[in-house]
Amino acid sequence: MIDIKLLEHLESYLSENRKHRFETVLSERTMHFTVATEDVYQLHNTSAVMRSCDVFGIQELNIVEEQNSKRIDREIAMGAQKWVDLNRYNSIKNALEAIKGKGYQIVATTPHTNDCLLHEFDVTKKSCFFFGRETEGLSQEVIDAADCFLKIPMVGFTESLNISVSAAIILQHVTTKLKQCDIDWRLSNDEIIEKRLDWCKKTIKSFDEIADRFYGRQ
């Protein structure tokens, strides 16, 4: 249970502009959609996907590192690693179980015989968009577990996009449509309070000292 008085005390160390910025950004955040990347090899691709999640208000990014395990490139992520929650998995089986357990349908972003074009996608369903490796694409395990196959319409000679570009296009489209719906897509009050505290921790350098003084431990 979060101590609201502690949170308010911590926020007194933030500028009014920073507090207002937190409030504004959190009002546009959603857990209705999430994103998963599967063994992406190029580090800058994962970092760029994280940046798109932040830009379009997606609060969580799931990274499966069954074969490739690397740190987020801070320069490419442009600070997004502070504001987007990162869930890491060492197997696709664990990732699928955890994501499905949260009530998300699995959306494989890959051409398929039964695919759905982006403009036809039903945004009212709680969804996790899976993006695969640069050359091989998504694993058969994700394909088999998918509830939906999503495709970006393309009319040129090139029939594929970089995964970070694909993620940005899809997230911009689905979040725009989502905000035109009547469903409750925003974070709950408890989730907002949790993120306010988390962002205070990541913003205030002397967080631990301030918390200790607040509770009289110093």
pLDDT tens-digit readout, 150-200: 999 888 887 778 889 999 999 999 999 999 999 999 999 999 999 999 999
Tokens linked to 10:
């911590």
Domain residue ranges of the chain, discontinuous segments joined by +: 1-27+189-218, 30-185
- For the purposes of burial, counting CB atoms within 10 Å of the CB of 48, is it exposed (0-12), middle (13-18) or buried (19 or more)? buried
* Residue reference for tokens 């309070």: 193
* CB count in 10 Å sphere of residue 215: 9
pTM assigned to the model: 0.91
| Fold classified for 30-185 | Alpha/beta knot (3.40.1280)
pLDDT in tens, 92-116: 999 999 999 999 999 999 877 678 9
Summarised one tens digit per residue, pLDDT across range 41-75 is 677 788 889 999 999 999 999 999 866 555 554 54
